[in-house]
């Protein structure tokens, strides 16, 4: 019966065999070659290994080695991409971003927010809410096309200037026939720092921790 590499490995690793430690050390390709040579030396002369068997076993280790190299290349590529993203994200510190949410920051009489419409709307109204959920002002933005839009708010619903701080908002979009258009609100956050946690994370005071991929627009 033809001796297999697995059987050769078992015999070679048996107590008293001086080559056992050497065969159990090193990389998989080196161990395979040593086992193959040992198998060829110890084969049955009356039933030697066929060329096809040797070729098949060499092809198997080549495949395993190729997969290991591919895995290493993919891991290196992932690390390089993460490093590049981190470098890119660090340049966003101090910048404003829009991401899914409904909170905006009023500072020195300026606040910015956004929304995304699933379709065109004939009337879009943004309602600004204070920390208690009470309406403080409504902004009639008129007609808007589908897609992403932004709005600005000065924090002056009347003569008095409202205090700086975090506010929320809601958006209502309608067609002329009264049909509602689906809206996704986009809150505003200023990036204070960047961290790594299964990807690049942007830390903002208003929207919290944001994945870099969740940013819809940089302001």
pLDDT digits (tens, 9 = 90+) for 95-143: 999 999 999 999 999 999 999 999 999 999 999 999 999 999 999 999 9
Residue 16 confidence class, pLDDT cut points 50, 70, 90 = very low
Whether residue 101 contacts residue 115, with contact meaning beta carbons closer than 8 Å, is answered with: no
With CA atoms as reference, report the closest residue to 214 among 122, 75, 116, 140: 116
Whether residue 135 contacts residue 162, with contact meaning beta carbons closer than 8 Å, is answered with: no
Q: Assess whether pLDDT exceeds 70 at residue 73.
A: no
With CA atoms as reference, report the closest residue to 3 among 52, 44, 35: 44
Give residue 199's pLDDT: 76
Q: How far apart are CA 117 and CA 126, in angstroms?
A: 13
pTM of model > 0.75: no
In Å, how far from its chain's centre is CA 17?
51
Give residue 162's pLDDT: 96
> Helix, strand or coil for residue 35?
helix
Whether residue 178 contacts residue 60, with contact meaning beta carbons closer than 8 Å, is answered with: no
Helix (H) or strand (E) holding 60: helix 51-90
Q: Assess whether pLDDT exceeds 80 at residue 45.
A: no
């Amino acid at each position: 019966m033809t001796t297999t590499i697995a059987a050769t490995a078992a015999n070679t690793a048996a107590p008293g065999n001086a080559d056992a430690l050497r065969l159990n050390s090193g990389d998989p390709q080196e161990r395979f070659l040593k086992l193959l040579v040992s198998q060829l030396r110890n084969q049955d002369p009356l039933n030697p290994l066929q060329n096809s068997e040797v070729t098949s076993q060499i092809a198997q280790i080549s495949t395993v080695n190729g997969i290991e190299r591919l895995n290493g290349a993919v891991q290196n590529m992932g690390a390089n991409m993460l490093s590049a993203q981190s470098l890119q994200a660090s340049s966003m510190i101090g910048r404003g971003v829009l991401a899914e949410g409904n909170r905006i920051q009023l500072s020195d009489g300026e606040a910015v927010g956004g929304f995304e419409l699933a379709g065109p709307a004939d009337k879009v109204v943004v309602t600004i809410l204070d920390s208690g959920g009470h309406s403080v002002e409504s902004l009639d933005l008129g007609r808007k096309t589908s897609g992403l839009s932004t709005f600005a708010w000065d924090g002056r619903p009347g003569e008095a200037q409202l205090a700086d701080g975090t506010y929320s908002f809601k958006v209502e979009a309608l067609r002329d026939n009264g049909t509602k258009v689906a809206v996704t609100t986009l809150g505003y956050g200023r990036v204070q720092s960047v961290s790594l946690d299964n990807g690049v994370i942007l830390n903002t005071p208003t929207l919290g921790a944001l994945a870099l991929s969740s940013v819809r627009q940089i302001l």
